[in-house]
């Protein structure tokens, strides 16, 4: 598969191309939007990765231009801008996905695979052709249960033929799809790879003409005979990807401890050149803040400072420097959203720049490049009620969330100066929760201690909102009056909760705000078998809001094979399908002890009671009629799973 990357950051290009090459992708790299347009409109790509901030033509404008000219190639936007408005703007421009720097490389590769799968004629995560299995997620290739040891180019060639098995690929098409624009192989190179790939397939038991030739036109995969298809179904448990215990391709950095160490060594080597560059960029930021302090500051300097902070946020994230990324994002927000910075703002910017310089200077080696690993989010609780704070702390610990408690406004103010914070893991919280036993009506003439404390807490809330505009902040009050809600929202709180809410629910709300809604658990795997291709393409989108991992299958003959490979949590079957109907599939499923408890939902255009009764007779758990709303289908799936868990307990 061939990818066009339009990115002007040399470090990010180096790291990304290494990761993508390890996943057997061919990558062309250009460094400005205009050249990106030239390449994208001239050559054929399976996917385009566009940075948002590009010279000559920005990524969103480039995306919009491709879509206006009718190009349907999947586009993934890659940027350090993590605001909702930026994401909406990118998606409205026609992008298919939007990934924020810093990113988890495994997640990025998974998103790339998902986009490529979405644009493929074969939407399955596992590609099959008779007894041949190719799993793009693990780079495993087997034929009749026997692992194939392929070179990178042989793997790419086989995947290309599998992605569009009805297409005859000429040598020129193969060269264009599998070799980068900087390479100049000949047709003889293609013939050589075809010959070696055929030999390995035949050695594993494939027919001599498994890869067939149309003389004068090119190559394609010959349709398996019916006997081969039936053999695949009956022997699926032995030949399903993952059941052999070994992989065919060992170039991916994600698969073994040795390869992880190789990638870590690569990052440390790259850090030796990145660190001094980052410190130089920070010196420019420091000087910019000094100029701002003495009122010798220009809009051009502000734009340059925003771009530097943007680059730092993206680059430092590659190395897993979470605290540094957070500081860089806050600086980018300050330089990007404040239309006219004043000298008084320098006192707030100086400690952030200094803290970021310290983080970069103190990082002598890279130990954990995964942004999402080894660290839980930190919640700062500002509350003078020790019992309330302790209850929240216990509920947070049960959800794997770290907490810090500021019992006074003065203690909370310390967190405005990262260099003074004693917390060794993270000097800036990921979210802040303000507890207001009483929210005074402002302006207030009351001078009680509690009222003064509440007024000062409101001031601290507003200060945090001004300093860190993207930091999630919540407020809890003993009343739910409109005036109370209005006061805290205007001060910068994202959510207002009433004090009567149980601590567990408060923490659940915090987790949702942080984007950690039950992500510790594996997503529910839903397998859908239906011969209506348009319906199959629609269903993953309908179910996307619920976080399901959806596998679709149009060929019921491949049912058992894919079932064993996916191991779904829920199965959705159509009734009327060619060769094998849904009733028969359900009967076969229920005859196997392993699958007798798998929830099965029928989804059909049939509305008569006879059809529904027949479905329940063969073992169905539910029956829905098409068309169905996404929320209705998701609700039925979740209800069925909940009942299964209840019965199991």
252 assigned to some structural domain = no
Same domain, 382 and 501: yes
pLDDT at residue 231, as a whole number: 31
| CA 571 remoteness from chain centre | 25
3-state secondary structure of 231: helix
CA–CA dist 601, 487 (Å, integer): 48
Phi, psi (5° rounding) for residue 470?
-100, 5
Q: Who has greater pLDDT, 229 or 472? A: 472
For the beta carbon of residue 572, count every other beta carbon within 10 angstroms: 25
pLDDT at residue 421, as a whole number: 57
245 assigned to some structural domain = no
3-state secondary structure 252-316: CCCCCHHHHHHHHHHHHHHHHHHHHHHHHHHHHHHHHHHHHHCCCCCHHHHHHHHHHHHHHHHHH
pLDDT at residue 555, as a whole number: 86
Q: Which residues form the domain of 82? A: 2-118
What CATH number is given to the structural domain containing 336? Answer: 1.20.120
Q: What is the pLDDT of residues 567-624, one digit of tens each?
A: 888 999 999 888 889 999 998 888 887 788 899 999 888 888 888 888 888 888 888 8
371 assigned to some structural domain = no
Which residue do the tokens 């063969």 mark? Answer: 618
| CA 645 remoteness from chain centre | 28
132 assigned to some structural domain = yes
Query: Above 60 in pLDDT, residue 646?
Result: no
3-state secondary structure of 26: strand
Same domain, 203 and 269: no
Contact 353, 331 (CB under 8 A): yes
CA–CA dist 145, 141 (Å, integer): 9
Same domain, 503 and 386: yes
| Residue 225 banded pLDDT, cuts 50, 70, 90 | low
Of 447, 479, 514, the last residue of a domain is 514
Across-strand partners of 211? 221
Same domain, 322 and 415: no
Same domain, 481 and 456: yes
Query: Above 80 in pLDDT, residue 370?
Result: no
92 assigned to some structural domain = yes
* Most confident by average pLDDT, 78-87, 158-167, 295-304, 567-576: 567-576
Query: Above 50 in pLDDT, residue 391?
Result: yes
What CATH number is given to the structural domain containing 203? Answer: 1.10.10.10
Same domain, 114 and 132: no
Same domain, 580 and 607: yes
Across-strand partners of 404? 380
Q: Who has greater pLDDT, 645 or 364? A: 364
Contact 136, 252 (CB under 8 A): no
Take residue 597 and report the two structure tokens written for it: 């408890």
Query: Above 90 in pLDDT, residue 377?
Result: no
Give me the number of domains the chain comprises: 5
* Cis amide leading into 627 (omega within 30): yes
Query: Above 80 in pLDDT, residue 186?
Result: no
Of 337, 362, 387, the last residue of a domain is 362
Rama region for 102: left / alpha / beta (φ>0; ψ in -120 to 50; rest): beta
pLDDT at residue 212, as a whole number: 86
Query: Above 80 in pLDDT, residue 73?
Result: yes
pLDDT at residue 81, as a whole number: 66
pLDDT at residue 48, as a whole number: 94
Same domain, 181 and 233: yes
CA–CA dist 356, 328 (Å, integer): 7
Query: Above 70 in pLDDT, residue 506?
Result: yes
Take residue 398 and report the two structure tokens written for it: 């049960």
What CATH number is given to the structural domain containing 472? Answer: 3.40.50.2300
Task: Please name the residues in contact with 78: beta carbons below 8 A apart, sequence gap of 6 or more.
Answer: 7, 49, 50, 51, 52, 59, 99, 101, 103
Give the N- to C-terminal CA distance of the chain in Å, as an integer.
46
Rama region for 603: left / alpha / beta (φ>0; ψ in -120 to 50; rest): beta
Same domain, 431 and 453: yes
Rama region for 504: left / alpha / beta (φ>0; ψ in -120 to 50; rest): alpha
pLDDT at residue 592, as a whole number: 80
Contact 221, 165 (CB under 8 A): yes
Read off the DSSP letter of residue 81. -
Take residue 635 and report the two structure tokens written for it: 């609700």
3-state secondary structure of 622: strand
Same domain, 22 and 140: no
CA–CA dist 287, 635 (Å, integer): 56
Query: What percent of the chain clears pLDDT 90, i.e. is strictly above it?
Result: 9
Q: Who has greater pLDDT, 353 or 398? A: 353
Contact 345, 292 (CB under 8 A): yes
50 assigned to some structural domain = yes
Q: Who has greater pLDDT, 288 or 540? A: 288
| Residue 413 banded pLDDT, cuts 50, 70, 90 | confident
Read off the DSSP letter of residue 31. S
CA–CA dist 40, 35 (Å, integer): 8
Same domain, 174 and 226: yes
CA–CA dist 232, 458 (Å, integer): 67
Q: What is the pLDDT of residues 431-459, one digit of tens each?
A: 899 887 665 554 544 445 555 666 777 88
When pLDDT is averaged across residues 300-305 and rounded to a whole number, the result is 85
pLDDT at residue 550, as a whole number: 87
CA–CA dist 562, 576 (Å, integer): 19
CA–CA dist 134, 124 (Å, integer): 10
Contact 311, 336 (CB under 8 A): no
Q: What is the pLDDT of residues 154-165, one digit of tens each?
A: 888 888 888 776
Of 175, 210, 239, the last residue of a domain is 239
Please count the residues of the chain: 649
What's the mean per-residue pLDDT of the chain? Answer: 77
pLDDT at residue 338, as a whole number: 52
Contact 423, 326 (CB under 8 A): no
Query: Above 70 in pLDDT, residue 248?
Result: no
pLDDT at residue 573, as a whole number: 93
pLDDT at residue 283, as a whole number: 93
Which residue do the tokens 């086989």 mark? Answer: 158
Same domain, 591 and 634: yes
Q: What is the pLDDT of residues 419-432, one digit of tens each?
A: 555 544 456 788 89
pLDDT at residue 83, as a whole number: 60
CA–CA dist 330, 544 (Å, integer): 31
Phi, psi (5° rounding) for residue 577?
-140, 155
Q: What is the pLDDT of residues 122-169, one digit of tens each?
A: 544 567 787 888 877 667 888 887 888 888 888 888 888 887 766 788
270 assigned to some structural domain = yes
114 assigned to some structural domain = yes
CA dihedral 311, 314, 320, 325 (to 10 degrees): 70
CA neighbor of 271 nearest in space, from 356, 371, 362, 353:
362
Across-strand partners of 431? 379
Name the least confident of 162-176, 199-213, 334-348: 334-348
pLDDT at residue 634, as a whole number: 80
Take residue 281 and report the two structure tokens written for it: 């960029």
Query: Above 70 in pLDDT, residue 54?
Result: yes
pLDDT at residue 570, as a whole number: 92
């Amino acid at each position: 598969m061939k990818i066009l990357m339009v990115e002007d950051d040399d470090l990010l290009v180096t790291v990304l191309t290494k990761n993508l090459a390890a996943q057997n992708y061919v990558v062309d790299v250009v460094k400005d939007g205009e050249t990106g347009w030239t390449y994208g409109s001239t050559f054929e790509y399976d996917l385009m990765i566009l940075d948002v901030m590009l010279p000559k033509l920005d990524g969103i404008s480039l995306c919009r231009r491709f879509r206006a000219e009718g190009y349907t190639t999947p586009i993934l936007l890659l940027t350090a801008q993590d605001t909702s408005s930026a994401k909406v703007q990118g998606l409205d421009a026609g992008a298919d996905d939007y990934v924020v720097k810093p990113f988890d490389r495994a997640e990025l590769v998974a998103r790339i695979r998902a986009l490529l799968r979405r644009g493929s004629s074969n939407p399955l995560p596992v590609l099959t052709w008779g007894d041949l299995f190719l799993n793009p997620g693990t780079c495993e290739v087997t034929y009749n249960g026997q692992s194939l040891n392929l070179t990178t180019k042989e793997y790419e060639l086989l995947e290309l033929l599998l992605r569009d098995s009805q297409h005859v690929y000429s040598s020129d098409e193969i060269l264009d799809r599998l070799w980068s624009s900087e390479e100049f192989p000949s047709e003889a190179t293609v013939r050589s790879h075809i010959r070696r790939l055929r030999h390995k397939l035949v050695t594993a038991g494939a027919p001599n003409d498994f890869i067939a030739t149309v003389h004068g036109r090119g190559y394609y995969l010959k349709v398996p005979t019916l006997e081969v298809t039936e053999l695949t179904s009956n022997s699926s448990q032995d030949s399903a990807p993952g059941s052999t215990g070994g992989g065919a391709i060992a170039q991916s950095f994600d698969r073994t401890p040795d390869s992880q160490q190789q990638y870590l060594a690569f990052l440390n080597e790259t850090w030796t050149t990145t660190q001094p560059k980052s410190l130089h960029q920070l010196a420019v930021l420091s000087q910019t803040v000094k100029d701002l302090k003495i009122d010798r500051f220009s809009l051009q300097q502000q734009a340059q400072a925003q771009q530097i902070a943007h680059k730092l946020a993206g680059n430092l994230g590659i190395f897993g420097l979470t605290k540094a990324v957070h500081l860089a994002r806050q600086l980018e927000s300050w330089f990007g959203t404040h239309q006219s910075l004043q000298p008084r703002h320098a006192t707030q910017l100086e400690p952030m720049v200094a803290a970021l310089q310290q983080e970069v200077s103190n990082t002598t080696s890279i130990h954990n490049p995964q942004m999402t690993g080894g660290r839980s989010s930190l919640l700062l609780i500002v509350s003078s009620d020790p019992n309330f704070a302790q209850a929240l702390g216990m509920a947070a610990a049960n959800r794997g969330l770290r907490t810090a408690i500021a019992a006074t406004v003065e203690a909370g103010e310390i967190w405005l100066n990262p260099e003074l914070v004693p917390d060794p893991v993270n000097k800036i919280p990921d979210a802040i929760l303000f507890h207001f036993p009483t929210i005074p009506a402002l302006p207030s003439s009351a001078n009680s201690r509690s009222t003064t404390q509440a007024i000062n807490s409101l001031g601290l809330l507003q200060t945090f909102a001004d300093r860190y505009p993207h930091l999630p902040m919540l407020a809890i009050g003993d009343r739910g009056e409109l005036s109370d809600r209005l006061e805290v929202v205007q001060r910068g709180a994202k959510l207002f909760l009433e004090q009567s809410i149980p601590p567990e629910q408060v923490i659940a709300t915090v987790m949702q705000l942080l984007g950690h809604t039950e992500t510790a658990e594996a997503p529910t795997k839903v397998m859908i078998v239906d011969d209506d291709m348009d319906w199959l393409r629609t269903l993953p989108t309908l179910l996307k809001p619920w976080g399901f991992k959806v596998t679709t299958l149009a060929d019921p003959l491949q049912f058992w094979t894919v079932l064993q490979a996916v191991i779904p949590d829920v199965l959705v079957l159509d009734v009327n399908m060619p060769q094998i109907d849904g009733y028969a599939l359900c009967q076969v499923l229920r005859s196997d002890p392993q699958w007798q408890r798998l929830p099965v939902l029928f989804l059909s255009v049939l509305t008569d009671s006879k059809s529904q009764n027949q479905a329940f007779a063969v073992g169905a758990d539910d029956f829905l009629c098409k068309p169905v709303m996404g929320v209705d289908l998701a609700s039925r799936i979740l209800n069925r799973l909940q009942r299964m868990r209840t019965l199991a307990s």
